[in-house]
Amino acid sequence: MRQPQARNAWDERSSGPSLSGVFGGGFRDDRPAVISLILILLILLISVMAPLFSPYGMNEIDLDRVGAAPSPDHILGTDELGRDVFTRLLYGGRYSLFIAFFSIIIGVSAGIIFGSIAGYFRGPVDRAVCGLTDLFLSIPVFLILMVAASAAGGKIFVIPIVIGATSWMETARTVRSEFMRLRQEEFIEAARSLGVSDYSIVFRHILPQAVVPVTVSATAGFAAAILIESSLSFLGFGVQPPLPTWGNMLNNAQSLLRTAPVAAVAPGFLIFIVCLSFNFVAAGLKRVLARDSE
């Protein structure tokens, strides 16, 4: 027979902050975060609709204008092969953001799985997951990334897997701490007394309340993923030409630093702006979350 106290606690369970509440509440009053979010969406939109904004093809070559300075025909000049830099930036944004997005999906998914298992079941399982997390945090991850990316031959569908498989640790820690906090709440104890399964408690009642902290972690991780991909591509271990990313555009433009510096400055500037914008959005979400938890 179900206990009345447990039923009351279950019916009166509290819910954590929702994404709609965060974005509709204090976040929209955070001007730097809102401007950054608009800028990210604008860059994403222009990159996705690249053919509408440039009359040139992604790999279209103009041998008469190799390493040319900005002009009315090529507003950001051309690269070392005579390709339009502005066009390559737009298409490069597609691939750089695609890689970062799927890296985050993989990393966050792994972090949620490991963190929820450790935080809910605790004991030996928690110690094993914490040990694995500490191991990944203690080894030189970037070296592993370079070796794995090089072995994969710079294939664009492999790079997100490589980055995501080595970037789940912070999300796992965030989810673990949320689970350890929430599993002590009265409505969780009530759920157990009512015979609710562990699977249902984890995925239907605890995990949804950890969505906002996970989103904050993923937003900051997005900037890190872009930097990692750019670094790998700049060093020649990431996506290989002729596919453009902002990182390999930087690498290819090294020979043009004196004659056509825009070819190097433009992708570097975009990497800087996008990463800074994601960090501003993450900081805005953190402030709202901290204010709501007080």
Q: What is the pLDDT of residue 43?
A: 93
Which of 56-65, 161-170, 182-191, 270-279 is modeled with the greatest confidence? 270-279
Least confident of 222-226, 233-237, 286-290: 286-290
| Residue 102: alpha-carbon gap to chain centroid | 8
**All domains of the chain in start order, with CATH:** 20-50+77-293 (1.10.3720.10)
Instruction: Using a pLDDT cut of 70, give the percent of the chain over it.
Output: 89
User: Letter for the amino acid at 72?
Assistant: P
Quick check: 205 pLDDT over 70?
Answer: yes
- 72 contacts: CB under 8 Å, gap ≥ 6: none
pLDDT digits (tens, 9 = 90+) for 258-267: 777 888 889 9
With cut-offs at 50, 70 and 90, classify the pLDDT of residue 11.
Answer: very low
Quick check: 1 pLDDT over 50?
Answer: no
Least confident of 13-27, 144-158, 166-180, 187-201: 13-27
Q: What is the pLDDT of residue 6?
A: 46
Judge contact between 33 and 283, C-beta under 8 A. yes
With cut-offs at 50, 70 and 90, classify the pLDDT of residue 110.
Answer: very high
Quick check: 13 pLDDT over 50?
Answer: no
Quick check: 54 pLDDT over 90?
Answer: no
pLDDT digits (tens, 9 = 90+) for 132-141: 988 888 888 7
Judge contact between 98 and 138, C-beta under 8 A. no
Quick check: 178 pLDDT over 80?
Answer: yes
Number of Cβ within 10 Å of residue 60's Cβ equals 14
Determine the average pLDDT of the residues in 116-124. 85
Judge contact between 179 and 210, C-beta under 8 A. yes
Instruction: Return the structure tokens found at 27.
Output: 């976040």
Q: What is the pLDDT of residue 22?
A: 55
Q: What is the pLDDT of residue 276?
A: 93
pLDDT digits (tens, 9 = 90+) for 14-50: 445 555 555 555 677 778 888 999 999 999 999 999 8
3-state secondary structure the chain: CCCHHHHHHHHCCCCCCCHHHHHHCHHHHCHHHHHHHHHHHHHHHHHHCHHHHCCCCCCCCCHHHCCCCCCCCCCCCECCCCCEHHHHHHHHHHHHHHHHHHHHHHHHHHHHHHHHHHHHHCHHHHHHHHHHHHHHHHCCHHHHHHHHHHHCCCCCCCHHHHHHCCCCHHHHHHHHHHHHHHCCCHHHHHHHHCCCCHHHHHHHHHHHHHHHHHHHHHHHHHHHHHHHHHHHHHCCCCCCCCCCCHHHHHHHHHHHCCCCCHHHHHHHHHHHHHHHHHHHHHHHHHHHHHHHHC
**What's this model's pTM, rounded to 2 decimal places?**
0.82
With cut-offs at 50, 70 and 90, classify the pLDDT of residue 192.
Answer: confident
Instruction: Return the structure tokens found at 4.
Output: 């009345």
Buried b (16+ CB within 10 A) or exposed e, 175-192: bbebbeebbebebbebbe
Quick check: 5 pLDDT over 60?
Answer: no
pLDDT digits (tens, 9 = 90+) for 79-100: 888 899 999 999 999 999 999 9
Nearest to 215 by CA among 44, 43, 17: 17
Which residue has 């975009």 as its token pair? 270
Please, what is the average pLDDT of the chain? 82
